[in-house]
Structure 1
Amino acid sequence: MVVDDHELVRLGLAALMAAQATDGPTSDTLEACTLAEGLLVYAEHQHCITLVLLDLHLPDTHGLSGLREFMARFPAAPIAVLSGDSDPALRQQALQAGARAFLPKAGHLADVIAYLAAQGLVGPPAMPLAESPCASSPYGARDATRTIQTRDGERLRLTHRQAEMLDWVLAGQSNREIAGRAHLTEGTVKNHVSALLLIFGVRSRAQLISRLR
């Protein structure tokens, strides 16, 4: 379950998990945008929730208050904190309050994937770029993975499907146009695009294009 008041983060994480999933059934991702909603959803589905990704900055929380209230209501809840603040002191306080992990939103996406893989929610994290036989120019051969280099020099590796989606986004294709070309629903395309925005740390298609061109 993802508890975050930013729709992009919720959609992006759900799409990321779907993209990284191993063969077989993918895990369903429940969503909530406030602590109150998250508590209700967890109360109803706690028997099947493997992990709660909890944002510290929700409309009805302040600081660690949301985490502490969640733990008071559900002491055994498996919570990993999502935070835009990477303060080591805050991390220590969150872990002392019962969080199983502290994942800074400003951190590396690979860290989030590695943690989700450790919980069995996605497949193993991909090998580092330096070890990858598939690293290539942004528009090289259509390998199983492709490495994309941003304008500021950051190198990010995408799956074949993610790279294909990125090509269409950079070509100015709408979600509907991409859906027609890829034989997918618009909702699925929206999830893929949200995952791309999350991977590249941007909030819009325009910002994504700006990072690459």
Structure 2
Amino acid sequence: MSATVVMSANMDEIASPDRVLIVDDHSLVRDGLRSIFDDAFPACEILEADSLESALATLAAAGEVDLVLLDLNIPDVSHLSGLEQLRDRFPATPVVMVSGVTDRHVVRDALKAGAAGFVPKSLKRAAIVEALQLVLSGEIYMPDLPGDEGNAEEDMIRARIDSLTPQQRVVLSHLVAGRLNKQIAYEIDVSMTTVKAHVSAILQKMNVFSRTQAVIMAGKVGFRD
């Protein structure tokens, strides 16, 4: 099972994480993930939690954490409620879902809800390390799922567009229509500075480096809003 990403990262430039939190109610799973970090990132400090309540308390006490690995199914969460609470309380901390579930709709819902990646527990150790490296480099990791050939990139793009605010979606639709910043400012009755801020946020959330790349990506899924 391989990864689908919109843009590739230079693995040589990825710094080792200083601290990560593993959230899973099964100690064997936590031990397995810990061993992966011990091998791939030996200097990394590993924190553990067996519930969402414990995870929230650990994050509040620990301060900055580079990455959270969150099991999809832990006793005190329902579906993606754990991810949503973590994203709400700690929006700057990337959260990677780890699960035995590989349904493409669940994966897409997780990415739409703000997950930085979705790692199936069935992945080999080397593939998990690659997934974590991609996330640490700023990418969003999405596995290629059986029967999903040809749809993975579109799902990735839709998930990134879904992460935009309503106003950012409006601005993106104007970009797709080929309008300049001053035209967009006039159309939505905001300042040029505000438009520039929206465009910058769009590029960051879509993980592209130019308006042209954002327009091309949006065009692949027929985005018009």
CA contact (8 A) 1:86 1:106 kept: no
Pairing 1:42–2:59 present: yes
Cα offset, 1:97, TM superposition: 0.4
User: Is structure 2 residue 26 aligned with structure 1 residue 10?
Assistant: no
User: 1: CA distance between counterparts of 2:101 and 2:107?
Assistant: 9
How many residues were matched structurally?
Answer: 117
Are 1:86 and 2:122 counterparts?
A: no
Kept after mapping to 1: 8 A contact 2:23/2:49: yes
Return the letter of the residue paired with 1:87.
Answer: D
CA-CA distance at 1:77 after TM superposition? 2.0
Q: Percent identity?
A: 39
CA distance in 1, matches of 2:57, 2:79: 20
Deviation of residue 119 (structure 1)? Answer: 5.0
Q: What's the counterpart of residue 65 of structure 1?
A: 81
Which of 30, 39, 46 pairs up with 1:19?
A: 39
Cα-Cα RMSD = 1.8
2:116–2:135 contact (8 Å) kept in structure 1: no
1:114 alignment partner in structure 2: 130
Q: Which ranges of structure 1 fall in alignment gaps of 5 or more residues?
A: 122-213
Q: 1:114 to 1:60 in 2, by over 3 A?
A: same
Q: Deviations over 1:99-133 (max 9, x none)?
A: 00001112333221102233569xxxxxxxxxxxx
Cα deviation digits, residues 35-79 of structure 1 (max 9, x gap) = 0000111112232x1100001111101111111111122222210
Q: Provide the C-alpha distance between the structure 1 equivalents of 2:63 and 2:68, rounded to a whole number of angstroms.
A: 10
Corresponding residue for residue 46 of structure 2: 29
**Matched AA of 2:94:** P
What amino acid sits opposite 2:57 in the alignment? Answer: L
Distance 1:13 1:108 in 2: 11
TM-score normalised to structure 1 length: 0.51
**Contact 2:67-2:96 at 8 Å conserved across structures:** yes
1:100 lines up with 2:120 in the alignment: no
Report the CA distance shift for 1:101/1:33 in structure 2 as closer, same or farther (over 3 A).
same
Q: Which runs of 5+ in 2 are unaligned?
A: 1-20, 138-225
Q: Is the 8 A contact 1:2 1:31 kept in 2?
A: yes
